[in-house]
Amino acid sequence: MDSEDEIGIDSGNSSDDEDYDFMQVDEIQRQSGNAQDPVEYPFEVLTTEEIVKHMLDCIAEVNNVVEIPATTTRILLNHFRWDKEKLMERYYDGDQEALFKAAHVINPYVKPKRESKTFRCSMMEDCDICFLKYQYTNMTGLQCGHRFCKSCWVEYLTTKIMEEGLCKSIACAAHGCDILVDDVTVMSLLTEPRVKTKYQQLITNSFVECNRLLRWCPSADCSYAVKVQYVDARPVTCKCGHVFCFECGEQWHDPVQCRLLRKWIKKCDDDSETSNWIAANTKECPKCNVTIEKDGGCNHMVCKNQHCKHDFCWVCLGSWEPHGSSWYNCNRYDEDEARAARDAQEKLRSSLARYLHYYNRYMNHMQSLKFEHKLYSSVKLKMEEMQQHNMSWIEVQFLKKAVDILCQCRQTLMCTYVFAYYLKKNNQSMIFEDNQKDLESATEKLSEYLERDITSENLADIKQKVQDKYRYCEKRRKVLLDHVHEGYDKDWWEYVE
Amino acid sequence: MANMAVSRIKREFKEVLRSEEIAQCSIKLELVNDCFTELRGEIAGPPDTPYEFGTFLLEIHVPETYPFNPPKVKFLTKIWHPNISSVTGAICLDILKDNWAAAMTLRTVLLSLQALLASPEPDDPQDAVVASQYKENFEMFCRTAKHWTNSYAKGPHKFPDFDTKIQRLKDMGVSEFDARAALSRHNWDLNRATEQLFS
Ligand SMILES: [Zn+2]
Ligand SMILES: [Zn+2]
Ligand SMILES: [Zn+2]
Ligand SMILES: [Zn+2]
């Protein structure tokens, strides 16, 4: 079943709803993440063990073609950022000697010119690090021929790994020698488990960071990595549930593009002092000035002062009344007002006001998104209550889905304000702003229903009402995203930067 | 202090004592304390440089992790050089940072510092003022460096005009080092040095 087919069907018939509800939670998330993408974007989520296996597979694959030691292959692959094709291409087309030199390894085809072992065995050798004399067998080195005693090697590698956090780029301990120490040599010399573990972590980490087709899940405390077949600004869903953009690693940010999002985030960081006050979670009731704390995601505020009970919009602090009706007008920056400000020769203030307008709404949805996570627990209670009233587990899943959709809409809305901030006004941008307004209004209604009205509602009516609302949200979200994507295809969007 | 570091320093000591540079009096190494962590180095200014005939003292601190980390070295003798701070004696030299190798020794460090005196690298400066003087007014740089070598490192070249200007500032209550540094920084322009000192 394709989730896109369902969007727009507002009928009360619930036969196809069941299909929805049967889906596993992560499947719903994956589908909704990809819903607006016509072409599938295949990806895999890898555990640390799978990453290591993948790394060994890459080496084996190259070794099937190129007959060089695996340790050399690993260093070469790392040099080419784990791009197998590029390595093969350079290996067969170019100057191999130069290739080995650039990757800081000794050409494995050239036999090291070393005196015969039997002759050496009888001799004592000086270690240039500790200045002590050793039997030949207690000394070791790389192909470059620089030899040191084993205990000096261990000390040296331990310092590099534990203090400098190096792994792939540990060079020979001799002065001026840049030949890299391979992983097999490192692992065979190290004895302390603590250092060995750290080394393996560093190797895995550098493999993921070097490899264009891999990216660590940016979520805190998550140790999965996502592997793709080609790099693109597409959403990928980690096993931990985090949905992020593969190209830039930020939380999935459709409809705004990576470049503008990055620019916006930088601007927000730079301007954080001026905008800090907006992010605060308290405001005063515009009527009675009682301090009101925002404790939910819904922007429809009701003053807690029993004698006031003023209804207002958290975002614009205007009366709520118009927001509830058809002309929801909280999303569009009033150009006239801005012009008036410019006329007053307050250019600076006006551009700040413009920025704050978008920043305020962006932050507001971000804050709401955080609060919606509280909704999951309150909705869970409601679901339990409904199950006690003869509804099956499957039948009550629509409530969880409603919160999922609410979160997606908030995430999209957040990003629409970044897009809008950089957007130059034209006919299409007006349509975009209308779509934004519609989605915002639909989202606030869903939010308000789930947060407030649901408690007083008859259990039997809830399902129908919630489904109507979230389907409408989904529909508005799709309309908005499709329109922006069409604009990308047809070059409608011009930016102010 | 780690055993390895101690045994290394002991052996290095012998190496320096046996070396031919010692015989030529061009480098010297002494212990400051008994635990081998603090040492004093000495290098002779290389011939055909403004530092010729000068003797430069170095403070050497050997870290616990020596020889896997480089020794910390700075000039105790005041010196006018693009890669050495004229105020603190801190040195900008790759082998004392990322290019240190465990197989290098204090002897190689001392010889490298001597080489640094012979060929400064003004594009990677420690003291930006000295470096720009080196690049823009080499003649002035040489005279200044010789003057510093004479004042602090027992070098032979005297510059009476410099001494007069320093004396003028000393008469105004400025310390000798501050006067010399300010004048050196301003190409021995007394007015500008005075301005800097009293602003
Ligand atoms: Zn050794
Ligand atoms: Zn080597
Ligand atoms: Zn994750
Ligand atoms: Zn992105």
Q: Which of A311-320, A324-333, B49-58 has the highest mean pLDDT?
A: B49-58
Q: What's residue A472's pLDDT?
A: 96
Residues A290, A284: contact at Cβ < 8 Å? yes
Q: What's residue A271's pLDDT?
A: 67
Task: Give the whole-number percent of chain B exceeding pLDDT 70.
Answer: 97
Q: 3-class DSSP state for residue A227?
A: strand
Provide the shortest C-alpha distance from residue B104 to chain A (in Å).
7
Distance A398 CA to ligand 3 centre (A): 25
B65, B67, B69: residue with CB nearest A129:
B67
Q: Which CATH architecture does the domain made up of A352-490 adopt?
A: Up-down Bundle (1.20)
Residue of higher predicted confidence among B20 and B53: B53
Least-confidence region, from A263-267, A296-300, A331-335, A472-476: A331-335
Whether B104 sits inside 8 A of A175 (CB atoms) is yes
Chain A residues with CB under 8 Å of B69 CB are: 159, 163
Q: 3-class DSSP state for residue B84?
A: strand
Helix (H) or strand (E) holding A463: helix A459-490
Token pair for A68: 């060089």
Q: What's residue A177's pLDDT?
A: 87
Whether A173 sits inside 8 A of B8 (CB atoms) is no
Q: What's residue A7's pLDDT?
A: 40
Domain boundaries, chain A: 4-106+213-245, 117-192, 285-332, 352-490
A300-322 pLDDT tens trace: 677 766 667 777 776 666 676 66
Residues A497, A262: contact at Cβ < 8 Å? no
Cα–Cα distance measured from residue A152 to residue A17, given in angstroms and rounded to the nearest whole number: 69
Cα–Cα distance measured from residue B26 to residue B46, given in angstroms and rounded to the nearest whole number: 8
Q: What's residue A232's pLDDT?
A: 92
Superfamily of domain A117-192 in the CATH hierarchy? Zinc/RING finger domain, C3HC4 (zinc finger) (3.30.40.10)
Residue B3 has pLDDT above 60, yes or no: yes
Distance A365 CA to ligand 2 centre (A): 57
Cα three-residue angle A325-A329-A331, rounded to 5 degrees: 135
Q: What's residue A93's pLDDT?
A: 83
Residue of higher predicted confidence among A281 and B198: B198
Question: If you average pLDDT over every residue of chain A, what do you get?
Answer: 80
- For the residues A174-198, what does the mean pLDDT come to? 90
A232-262 pLDDT tens trace: 999 999 999 899 999 999 999 999 999 999 9
Q: What's residue B7's pLDDT?
A: 83
Q: Write out residues 9-48 of B within 8 Å (CB-CB) of A.
A: 11-12, 15
- For the residues A62-84, what does the mean pLDDT come to? 88
Q: What's residue B44's pLDDT?
A: 93
B4, B7, B108: residue with CB nearest A155:
B4
Q: What's residue A455's pLDDT?
A: 72
Chain B residues with CB under 8 Å of A139 CB are: none
Q: What's residue A272's pLDDT?
A: 60
Least-confidence region, from A289-298, B17-26, B129-138: A289-298
- For the residues A316-333, what does the mean pLDDT come to? 57
Q: What's residue B42's pLDDT?
A: 93
Q: What's residue B117's pLDDT?
A: 94
B141-161 pLDDT tens trace: 999 999 999 999 998 999 999
- B102 inside 8 A of chain A by CB: yes
Least-confidence region, from A76-90, A297-311, A380-394, B33-47: A297-311
Q: Which residues pair with B67 in a beta bridge?
A: none
Residue A458 has pLDDT above 80, yes or no: no
Q: What's residue A13's pLDDT?
A: 42
Cα–Cα distance measured from residue A480 to residue A433, given in angstroms and rounded to the nearest whole number: 9
Rg value, chain A, Cα: 30
Residue B79 has pLDDT above 50, yes or no: yes
Residue A33 has pLDDT above 90, yes or no: no
Establish whether the linkage from the previous residue to A42 is cis, with ω within 30° of 0. Answer: no
Least-confidence region, from A19-28, A271-280, B97-106: A19-28
Burial of A197 (0-12, 13-18, 19+ CB in 10 A): exposed
Backbone angles phi, psi at A285, to 5 degrees: -60, 125
Residue A157 has pLDDT above 50, yes or no: yes
A130, A173, A174: residue with CB nearest B8:
A130
pTM higher than 0.80 for the full model? no
- For the residues A121-137, what does the mean pLDDT come to? 83
Q: What's residue A109's pLDDT?
A: 79
Q: What's residue A35's pLDDT?
A: 44
Please provide the CATH number assigned to the domain covering B3-118. Answer: 3.10.110.10
CATH code 3.10.110.10 region(s) in chain B: 3-118
- For the residues A279-293, what does the mean pLDDT come to? 61
Minimum CA–CA partner of A161 in chain B: B68
Distance A371 CA to ligand 3 centre (A): 21
Token pair for A7: 């969007």
- Residue found by looking up tokens 């020698």 in the block: A177
- B4 inside 8 A of chain A by CB: yes
Residue of higher predicted confidence among A319 and B106: B106
Rg value, chain B, Cα: 18
Whether B8 sits inside 8 A of A131 (CB atoms) is yes
Residue B32 has pLDDT above 90, yes or no: no
Binned at pLDDT 50, 70 and 90, residue A353 comes out as confident
- For the residues A217-231, what does the mean pLDDT come to? 91
Q: What's residue B147's pLDDT?
A: 96
Backbone angles phi, psi at A24, to 5 degrees: -70, 155
- For the residues B126-153, what does the mean pLDDT come to? 93
A402-445 pLDDT tens trace: 999 999 999 999 999 999 999 998 999 999 999 999 999 999 99
Q: What is the ipTM of this complex?
A: 0.73
Binned at pLDDT 50, 70 and 90, residue A51 comes out as very high
Whether B68 sits inside 8 A of A130 (CB atoms) is no
Cα–Cα distance measured from residue A91 to residue A96, given in angstroms and rounded to the nearest whole number: 6
The yes-or-no answer on residue A298 being catalytic is yes
Q: What's residue B76's pLDDT?
A: 96
Cα separations in angstroms, A138 against A126, A149, B2, B65: 11, 6, 21, 22
